[in-house]
Structure 1
Amino acid sequence: MIQPNFIIRSGGQTGVDRGTLDAAMDFNEANPNVIKITGWCPLGRKAEDGPIHKRYPLSETTTDDYSQRTEQNIRDSTGTLILLLNQNNSDNGTNYTIEKANEFNKPLETIYFSGDRQNNIDQILNWLKENQIRHLNVGGPRESNAPGIYDQTHIFILDLLNEMSNSPIIF
């Protein structure tokens, strides 16, 4: 079961960030007020495909530097989930996220979509419970570095949120 104060945050970039935000927004349409959606994005709502649409509930950082967005999202969360297509799919931004999560001593979990879907979901549920994560930052490659990752992320995060809401475990 998801308590109403569970928070999902992401930075709004194409790919994993946007797939996460869209899945969380879709989940909220069917389950109003169950999760809060937020995140930091660069000044000017900068992303590789142009300014991030205002429908995403993101706050702008003081600079258009992606690294500031990444650091603030990690700092403001209680754990970071990295989503990748496979083990060879990381990019500089994702590597920076992993580095900063470790530097800030925040729980970090990496999931590869090439793995078994249900095992991946179970792994995340256990990680969330063990680390008492109530404010989840989600990151990974942008769409241009991992074509198709937006769609896979959207489906996966929606499945994860539905599993969380149907679980006897309280998140």
Structure 2
Amino acid sequence: MVDVWAANATGVYSGIVNLGNGNGDPRNKETTFGRGLQMTSNEIVAKFTTFFPGHFTSRTQHIHVATHLNGVIWSNNNTFQGSTVAHIGQIFFDQSLANSIERDPIYQANKQPLTKKAQDGIFMQEAAVGDLVVEYSHRSQSFDGGISAWLAFGIDTKSEHITAADTHH
């Protein structure tokens, strides 16, 4: 099972009322935007459709990702629980793509200081051990048609040690 979550265009996470930096909204407590949980296919691929994440103070645009092993989906309410977390980390975007999207009026509403990848300590820590910047292509001549982005990574299902660059969110 692959689990993803990201902040919206204004740098706010769903389900989070306050991150301690003033970046929150009491109405978010019961929301789930920017979050998804997907079972991998027989080819061990998970696909998500989501929005481009926003930035927030001291963090560049990123999507959190966690992989879960041996969990159970309960048929009575379709919830997932009882898993072992095999990986937790973040994926990032090409800086020129991020800069282009930040010019969109929806993202311009985000008044928090913009942090670029090279200034983000979590990105620098993760980049030291792997390439976690997605590949992408435009689906049309403008961003209105969306982009397709992809990233492949492997999980050692026998490992009992997880090094998480950021478990705060």
Q: Smaller-chain TM-score range?
A: 0.3 to 0.5
Structure with more strand by fraction: 2
**What TM-score, normalized to structure 1?**
0.32
Structure with more helix by fraction: 1
Q: Flag the structure with more relative contact order, 1 or 2, with Cα contacts below 8 A and sequence separation at least 6.
A: 1
